Amino acid sequence: MTKPRIGVLGIQGAYARHAEMIVLAGGESEIVKYREQLDGLDGLILPGGESTTMTKVLGFRITHDDILDFARHKPVFGTCAGLILIACGVTDPRVRQLGLIDANISRNAYGSQKDSFVSEISLEFDRGVPFHAVFIRAPLILSVGGSVTVLSVHENAPVLIGSGMHLGATFHPELTHDTRIHRYFIQTVKEVKDGKTTRSQ
């Protein structure tokens, strides 16, 4: 069986480690800088970074609309700034969102870089061992719509959410050696690829 091929948007931010995690989690990975690369992919990760900067850079070699087209048929996973981009509502007009997940987000809600923190969270799909989640100038999910499944919470706020085939995390799941969240995404990608999912939009 061929491995699912997952792209990591590589125009800004923390993309390299995501590509390593995909391989450790059983997929093939590719750093994506050009729209033509999307054709060969089964899923896409939008990494952490700076959502205002990513908004500006999305418009050249790969655009907002290219990713929207891709997301109609294939799963997208947004982490931190990537989640801000794939969600619906954000309290910052400089960010242009894709609206793939019905969630309202507040940027930098926990404070500045020095207020970044690590917390043990429980994963709804694998409750056995806590996940060591790294929050770096993390966004806060203020509210989610009825189509959203909350997969993990921190201090009563959702921090890992799914909607149809798409996934979003307010933290950096690539900054640990724990591949469970990447494996969860890869599993969705496989199901969509094989036409087996009940999670498609």
Which of 32, 41, 81, 165 touches ligand GLN (CB under 6 A)? 81
**Beta-bridge partners for 104:** 89, 143
Using rule CB under 6 A, residue 162 touches ligand GLN: no
Is residue 170 classed exposed, middle or buried when 0-12, 13-18 and 19+ CB atoms within 10 A define those classes?
A: buried
Q: Between 58 and 136, name the residue whose CB sits nearer to ligand GLN.
A: 136
Q: Minimum CB separation from ligand GLN for residue 184, in Å?
A: 20
Using rule CB under 6 A, residue 48 touches ligand GLN: yes
Give the interface segment with ligand GLN, choosing from 28-36, 61-69, 135-143, 155-163 (CB under 6 A).
Answer: 135-143
Using rule CB under 6 A, residue 168 touches ligand GLN: no
Cα gap 109→151, rounded to integer Å: 20
Q: Among 133, 140, 61, which Cα is nearest to 103's?
A: 140
Q: Between 108 and 149, name the residue whose CB sits nearer to ligand GLN.
A: 108
Q: Between 21 and 192, name the residue whose CB sits nearer to ligand GLN.
A: 21
Using rule CB under 6 A, residue 108 touches ligand GLN: yes
Q: Among 92, 17, 10, which Cα is nearest to 57's?
A: 10
Q: Between 42 and 97, name the residue whose CB sits nearer to ligand GLN.
A: 97
Q: Terminal CA-to-CA distance of the chain, rounded, Å?
A: 25
Cα gap 145→100, rounded to integer Å: 12
Cα-Cα-Cα-Cα dihedral sign, residues 31, 61, 201, 162: positive
Using rule CB under 6 A, residue 57 touches ligand GLN: no
Give the interface segment with ligand GLN, choosing from 23-31, 34-42, 132-140, 147-155 (CB under 6 A).
Answer: 132-140
DSSP string, 94-107: TPPP---EEEEEET
Q: Between 45 and 192, name the residue whose CB sits nearer to ligand GLN.
A: 45
Using rule CB under 6 A, residue 45 touches ligand GLN: no
The number of residues making up the chain comes to 201
Residues that bind ligand GLN (CB under 6 A): 48-51, 80-81, 84, 107-108, 136-137, 139
